[in-house]
Amino acid sequence: MMQADLDDLRQQVRNLADRVARLEASLAVPPEAPLTQDAGAPHAAPSQLLEAGTPFFPVPQSTPVLPVLGGATLGLAGAYLLRAIAESGVIPSKLVFAVAALYAVASLL
C-alpha cells in the first residue's frame, strides 16, 4: 500500500469518526428526559445506558410476518386442493362440500 493511499485512508477514518461524534451529540438525551416507558423506573444518564448496553429507544415488539403469510398460504392451498377434488369427481360433491365447509369453519377459528 502506498503512503498516499494510507494517508487518504487515515483522513477518511478521521472524517468518519467526526461524523459519528456529531451524530452521537445530536442524539444525546438529557438525563432528566424519560428514556423508558416505565413510569416507576429510575432514569439513567445516556452514558450509563451505553455502559449497561441498553438501547436509548424502546424497540417495538411485533408479530412476525412470515409465519402469518405461511399459514395463509397453506389455508389457500387446502382450499384449492378441496376444489380440485370436487371438480375431479373422485369423491361425491356433497361430501367434498361438507369437508370444505368444516375446513372453512376451522380456518376461521
Place of cell 452514558: 47
DSSP string, 49-103: HHHHT--SSPPPP---HHHHHHHHHHHHHHHHHHHHHHHHTSS-HHHHHHHHHHH
Q: Are 36 and 26 in contact (CB under 8 A)?
A: no
43's grid cell = 432514569
Q: What pLDDT score was predicted for residue 58?
A: 61
Tell me, what amino acid is at 17?
Answer: A
- Print pLDDT tens along the chain (109 aa): 688 888 999 999 999 999 988 888 887 745 454 545 454 455 555 555 555 555 556 666 777 888 889 988 998 999 999 899 888 988 888 898 899 899 888 888 8
CA dist 97 and 101 (Å) reads 6
Does the pTM surpass 0.95? The reply is: no
Q: What pLDDT score was predicted for residue 31?
A: 47
Q: What pLDDT score was predicted for residue 104?
A: 86
